[in-house]
Amino acid sequence: MTKQTNLKRRHFLLSAGVGGVGAAAAVVAVRSSGESGPDAVAATEQDKRGYRMTDHVAAYYRTARV
């Protein structure tokens, strides 16, 4: 009877340990995905289109030279 109780306790500790490792892994995963935040921002910034030489801009420069 005592042995069975001990076994149950060990199962509980084992499951708690596995669960703890799982939770830690989940936290690491979340953090690593959080670290990819700047990458996401960088990707967004890359999507932003800034100045570039277009026909419109070239025409403006041409008229400004007059």
User: Where does this chain bind other proteins (CB under 8 A)?
Assistant: 44, 47-52, 54, 56-57, 60-61, 63-66
Q: Which residue has the tokens 């989940």?
A: 26
The CA–CA distances, whole Å, from 32 to 22, 42, 64 equal 15, 16, 51
Least distance from other proteins to the Cβ atom of residue 42, Å: 12
Measured from the CB atom, is 3 or 48 closer to other proteins? Answer: 48
The minimum distance between CB 33 and other proteins, in angstroms, equals: 22
57: Cβ–Cβ under 8 A, 6 or more apart, which residues?
51
CB of 18 to other proteins, least distance (A): 43
Query: In the complex with other proteins, which residue's Cβ is closer, 21 or 41?
Result: 41
Phi first, then psi: give them for residue 22, nearest 5 degrees. -65, -45
